[in-house]
Amino acid sequence: MPKIENLAVNSATILLLSAYDAKSHQHWRRLVRQSLTDYDWTQIALPDRHFSWRIRGNSLTFASQYRELLSQKYDALIVTSMVDLSALRGFIPHLATIPTLIYFHENQFDYPASVPRPFDANRLNSQLTSIYSLLCADKILFNSLYNQQTFFTGANALIKKMPDGVAKGLLDAAEEQSSVLAVPISDDCWCKRAVPNQSNLKPVEIVWNHRWEYDKQPQVLFEALKLLKQAEIQFKIHILGQSFRKVPDCFAIAKSFLADEILTWGYQPLEQYRQILAQADIVVSTAIHDFQGLSMLEAMASGCLPIAPNRVAYPEYIAKQDLYSVTDKNHEAVSLFTALKDKIQMIENGRISHQLRWDISHKIKHYSQQTLVAQYQTVIQKLIGMTKK
């Protein structure tokens, strides 16, 4: 069932709509709401399932099930980019009178397809919907520079393919006025680990904490770990993250050949998850799709040393020396293996200190809840102060 969450404090009223409430979307809207307690929040979130229908049908669902709630007086409206804002305003014209912010967690122009198709009507529909919604909004935010750039590159390329009826430079003003404001990382994630006891060294612990889906490329991780085993390099592994009904075959295979190295397997409760991050040494990503990378940022905040591919949003906050090459996709696992081997040897030789872990954590402090919530406060105050034309 769709979720309705209220937090009334008898002040400025904000309506927040999440049309496809995936884990990262939940984290964002709840953290912002819990941190900005000066506002009276109403949040409506639709389940993260049936993607193609949810993107096309969310305006109908919102309007048919929540008309009375949506028709109340609000000082500001915040929607995710999955919300079909233009259609929703048609169903409930009152919403067009409210200053509106659209937040882009991701975009469908740079989302890798599981099976390449020459024409994908569902994707085209979701792309056009996001353009229409963007043009309806008064304020536009993206969670990363990478997300912002790939959206406008893709959207402008799509518009150029339209046969007629599209104004030249349609998105120019929106692009110029848009800005980047990341999803905050909870202050509870920040590095609190104790200084390790050098007389009681343990095998290096590696964390992979991503969704168990094709766009996170788990097979590359497992191929690299197999190479580590073949090279007789000692390590332990935590395979974390959310899984679904359909799990890539490589997980079952890896669970067998990594039996001696596995410390944790599967999704963990929040407290246990944070404990693992606080004790692990290295966090790894192999993703071809990550518009911000909350799992990487959470692990880095906890003091884990990052290793990630040199693509997507990672170069925005991970040092160049910690990004492995992806120029030859056929040998990506070899690149990751080399990066892991080098990092493990540095740890074992004592060339990575507790201070260095703290430094890595501190360098991404600008992603912290404490820092970013103040920026959200400023944006929302300006939004509330807007006068609708």
- Tens-digit pLDDT profile for residues 176-188: 999 999 999 999 9
Structure tokens at 23: 């884990």
- 314 near 288, Cβ under 8 Å? no
- Given a cut of 70, whether residue 114 has pLDDT beyond it is no
Indicate the pLDDT class of residue 112, thresholds 50, 70 and 90. confident
Indicate the pLDDT class of residue 389, thresholds 50, 70 and 90. very low
pLDDT for position 199: 46
pLDDT for position 14: 97
- Given a cut of 90, whether residue 190 has pLDDT beyond it is no
Mean pLDDT for 181-201 is: 76
Average pLDDT, the chain: 92
Indicate the pLDDT class of residue 200, thresholds 50, 70 and 90. low
CA proximity to 276, closest of 237, 318, 229: 237
CA proximity to 98, closest of 15, 26, 195: 15
- Given a cut of 60, whether residue 1 has pLDDT beyond it is no
- Tens-digit pLDDT profile for residues 274-312: 999 999 999 999 999 999 999 999 999 999 999 999 999
- DSSP for 276-311 reads HHHH-SEEE---S--SS-HHHHHHHHTTPEEEEESS
Q: What percent of the chain has pLDDT over 70?
A: 93
State the pTM of this model.
0.92
Instruction: Provide the residue type at 18 as one letter.
Output: S
Full set of structural domains in the chain with CATH: 3-184+368-384 (3.40.50.2300), 187-367 (3.40.50.2000)
What is d(CA 160, CA 178) in angstroms, rounded to the nearest whole number?
21
Indicate the pLDDT class of residue 3, thresholds 50, 70 and 90. low
- Tens-digit pLDDT profile for residues 327-372: 887 899 999 999 999 999 999 988 787 788 888 899 999 999 999 9
Structure tokens at 220: 């590359």
- Given a cut of 80, whether residue 2 has pLDDT beyond it is no
In the DSSP assignment, the letter for residue 213 is: S
Residue reference for tokens 């963007």: 134
- Given a cut of 60, whether residue 8 has pLDDT beyond it is no
Structure tokens at 60: 């109908």
What is d(CA 77, CA 360) in angstroms, rounded to the nearest whole number?
36
- Tens-digit pLDDT profile for residues 55-86: 999 999 999 999 999 999 999 999 999 999 99
Indicate the pLDDT class of residue 245, thresholds 50, 70 and 90. confident
Distances (CA, A) of 234 to 92, 222, 230, 254, 349: 60, 15, 10, 16, 13
**Cα torsion through 256, 261, 264, 266, rounded to 10:** -30
Mean pLDDT for 225-232 is: 97
- 158 near 123, Cβ under 8 Å? no
pLDDT for position 82: 95
Structure tokens at 26: 């939940």
Q: Which residue has the higher pLDDT, 1 or 322?
A: 322
What is d(CA 183, CA 29) in angstroms, rounded to the nearest whole number?
9
Q: Which residue has the higher pLDDT, 192 or 36?
A: 36
- Tens-digit pLDDT profile for residues 122-152: 889 999 999 999 999 999 999 999 999 999 9
For residues 170-207, one letter each, b for 16 or more C-beta atoms within 10 angstroms of the residue's C-beta and e for the rest, the string is ebeebbeebebbbbbbbeebbbebeeeeeeeeebbbbb
pLDDT for position 265: 97
pLDDT for position 387: 65
pLDDT for position 144: 98
What is d(CA 41, CA 74) in angstroms, rounded to the nearest whole number?
9
What is d(CA 198, CA 329) in angstroms, rounded to the nearest whole number?
38
- DSSP for 214-281 reads GGG-HHHHHHHHHHHHHTT---EEEEES---SS--THHHHHHHHTTTTEEEES---HHHHHHHHHH-S
CA 297 remoteness from chain centre = 10
